[in-house]
A = this chain, B = another copy of it.
Amino acid sequence: MTDVPPAANPRPGARIRLLEAALRLVRERGYAATTVEDLCTRAGVTKGAFFHHFASKEALGVAAANQWTTNTRAFFAEAPYRAHADPLERVLGYLDFRKAILRGELPEFTCFAGTLVQEVFGTSAPIRTACEASITGHAAEVAADIAAAMERHGVRAGFTAESLALHSQAVLQGAFILAKATGRTDVAVESIEHLRRYVELLFQPTARERKDPP
């Protein structure tokens, strides 16, 4: 369960390498199919080191999900679309950015949390919770921009910023599944383009509203 590095400053050693191995291997082969020895081999450490840093394979799963949360938060915080002043442009820029990063092999750009939780939601509550936090936490950041855009531009009623943000995560997760099933990236790209068009339509003022601005 617990796993936080013990206070001090352990040089980037076995622990972080094991977490990075997990981030990669689980997306490549899945959680159950990734053995502890696979992880050790990839990280270049021994089994002794693994169980020194993690109480169990499940504990590593939780720690890796938390690591994913940290990594993605930093990654999107630094992304260029964040610089837009208009929140609607940040929302659309986010979707363009998500589309642009679909490069390379599937395990490089798919979502670790989504992959993992799909497999273990029924068998490991701690991992499920960590993955849920990762996904809903990211959605909350997107929701903040959506809420600001709704405030600034007004919008066709009938939904909340939170639900649209979660919907965008659903589209992305589903796009990854389609890409895995077909082996093609362009189906994922097209799905994100549909989502972008949806957001544009939602924020496009109606004829009535254009004549009669707030």
Q: Which residues of A line the B interface, CB within 8 A? A: 28-33, 106-107, 113-115, 117-123, 128, 131-132, 135-136, 156-159, 163-164, 166-167, 169-178, 180-183, 187-188, 190-191, 193-195, 197-198, 201-202, 206, 212-214
Complex contact A194–B163 (CB within 8 A): yes
Complex contact B156–A212 (CB within 8 A): yes
Measured CA separation A114–B170 after assembly (Å): 13
Complex contact B175–A190 (CB within 8 A): no
| Also in contact, A33 and B119, with CB within 8 A (given A157-B213, A181-B114) | yes
Complex contact A177–B118 (CB within 8 A): yes
Complex contact A122–B106 (CB within 8 A): yes
Complex contact A181–B214 (CB within 8 A): no
Beyond A32-B119, A119-B119, A173-B177, 16 additional contacts (C-beta under 8 Å) are: A30-B119, A33-B119, A33-B123, A118-B180, A136-B181, A158-B197, A163-B187, A163-B190, A164-B194, A166-B191, A170-B171, A170-B188, A174-B174, A174-B177, A197-B198, A197-B202
From residue A6, how far is it (CB to closest CB) to chain B in Å? 28
Q: List the B residue with the shortest CB-CB distance to A211.
A: B208
- 9 closest A-B pairs (Cβ-Cβ)? A174-B174, A170-B174, A32-B32, A173-B174, A121-B180, A167-B194, A198-B198, A170-B191, A30-B119
Residues of chain B within 8 A (CB-CB) of A182 are 132, 136
From residue A36, how far is it (CB to closest CB) to chain B in Å? 14
Measured CA separation A180–B114 after assembly (Å): 9
Residues of chain B within 8 A (CB-CB) of A198 are 194, 197-198, 201
